[in-house]
């Protein structure tokens, strides 16, 4: 699963640490998600979407096999 968390952080002027504090995870978790090395739980994905005021599908998306 891919995401555009880094883009959304930039739009909202948040550091990895800022975002992590707001949703209750470590900065390392945010870093791992941005590098597509960690797939968040549904609850965590929904928290991120709510924070950015976007549908979860606009932040997280499945890779397509073309």
Q: What is the CATH number of the domain that holds 44?
A: 1.10.260.40
How many domains does the chain contain in total? Answer: 1
Determine the structural domain holding residue 13 and report its residue range: 2-52
Instruction: Assess if residue 59 is contained within a domain.
Output: no
pLDDT of residue 63: 81
Q: Is residue 9 part of a domain?
A: yes
pTM of the model: 0.90
For residue 32 the two structure tokens come to 């791992």
User: How far apart (Å, rounded) are the C-alpha atoms in residues 54 and 64?
Assistant: 22
Q: What is the pLDDT of residue 64?
A: 76
Q: List, for residues 40-64, the tens digit of each pLDDT value.
A: 999 999 999 999 999 999 999 988 7
Q: Which residue, chain included where needed, has tokens 């699963």?
A: 1
Element (H, E) at 9: helix 5-11
Q: Rounded to whole angstroms, how far apart are CA atoms 50 and 31?
A: 19
Residue 52 in tokens: 């950015």
């Amino acid at each position: 699963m891919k995401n555009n968390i880094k883009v959304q952080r930039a739009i909202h002027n948040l550091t990895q640490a800022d975002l992590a504090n707001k949703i209750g995870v470590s900065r390392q978790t945010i870093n791992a998600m941005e590098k597509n090395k960690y797939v968040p739980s549904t609850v965590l994905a929904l928290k991120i979407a709510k924070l950015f005021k976007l549908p979860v599908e606009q932040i997280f998306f499945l890779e397509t096999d073309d």
